[in-house]
Amino acid sequence: MTTPPGRQPLLDALTHLGAHAGKRASHARGYCAVGHFVPHDDAVHFADLAILRDGPLPATVRFSVGGSDPAISEKTRNLRGMAVRLHGVHEAYDMVLVSEPIFYAATPVSFLSYLEAHAADPDTGMPDPQRIAAHELRHPDTLRLPALLASHAAPASYACTSYHSTHAFLFTGADGAARPARIMAAPEAGVRYLSEAEERQLPPAFLEHEMDERLLQGPIRFQLYAQLPAPGDPLDDPSMPWRGGTRVPLGVLLITALADTSCDFMTFMPTRLPAGIAASDDPMLLARANAYASASLARRR
């Protein structure tokens, strides 16, 4: 049996993709925001959490573009991220969400292979096509997300895309039963991608100004849901989309203002969970949490 890679190999592989000193190894370009979360009145029946009874709760949010380059074009067809920390009275809850319903890879082994295959060759400065082809033959699970990203333009706004946990979590309800679900944030403004004209004409950096202009009209709102799986939907493979369409409303996240850069030094942990929510046995979730726990923060410092 192959031993899954630990947190250091995963972070090393991300660094070799071009991480910049003092910046995050992934989602380096981003903006901080603040707001609050208002729980849905009936959410405690699905998830009996103090954090759902104590709301409204202040929230720290970081919106970001995937990749290690802090100057990456905001028109690139790449993941967008929304990392959220809800500040409860006695505990915090981090939601690490991305703009597609699936993750890059099913397992730490295939994710590490993906990162290593796409690292630049020292002689050419470009990834080796033969190495990428060999990787894709070994790990076809890593083909799904790139195909999805290539199928549409980049979001026109951080406020106009949905965000997903991609990983399953176990929510304990008032009846004591634990139910698996993925988190989804649906934008009240609707989903909109850049037009061909906008892709050509917009400057590489436009998202912060767009957010500023949008916030002049009032808070940006996202409906948070727990997405339930259909029979057969995997609980341990984030590279597979779920067919389950049932959503349980958890509450509303309101973004009220952009903020300073303090959130850039925060580590949003997908396993920083309040009592009543537990991590599933998804190996990719646990590997990401281990990598974020100490090595990522230490390197940024």
Of 16, 27, 45, 164, catalytic: 27
The pTM of the whole model exceeds 0.85: yes
C-alpha–C-alpha distance, residues 80 and 236, integer Å: 23
* Residue 27 appears among annotated catalytic residues: yes
Length, in residues, of the chain:
301
Higher-confidence residue of 294 and 140: namely 140
Query: So what's the pLDDT on residue 110?
Result: 92
User: What CA–CA distance (Å, rounded) separates 237 from 104?
Assistant: 10
**CA torsion 187→188→189→194, rounded to 10°?**
20
Structure tokens at 246: 């049932």
| pLDDT, tens only, 10-23 | 556 555 555 555 55
Whole-number Cα distances in Å, 123 to 68, 72, 114: 21, 23, 20
Q: Quick check: 95 and 69 in contact, CB under 8 A?
A: no
| Cβ pair 151, 108 in contact under 8 A | no
| Of 279 and 51, the one with more pLDDT | 279
- Phi, psi angle pair for 8, to nearest 5°: -65, -50
Residue partners of 256: CB distance under 8 A and separation at least 6? 33, 34, 35, 36, 215, 219
H or E segment to which residue 198 belongs: helix 196-201
Token pair, residue 30, equals 């981003």
Closest CA to 245 of 225, 231, 227, 226: 227
DSSP run (H or E) holding 98? strand 92-98
Domains of the chain: 7-300 (2.40.180.10)
Location of structure tokens 């989804």? 184
- pLDDT one-digit tens code per residue, 42-87: 898 899 988 888 879 999 999 999 877 788 899 999 999 999 999 9
CA–CA gap between residue 251 and residue 225 (Å, rounded): 7
| Residue 101 contacts residue 164 (beta carbons within 8 Å) | yes
pLDDT greater than 60 at residue 238: yes
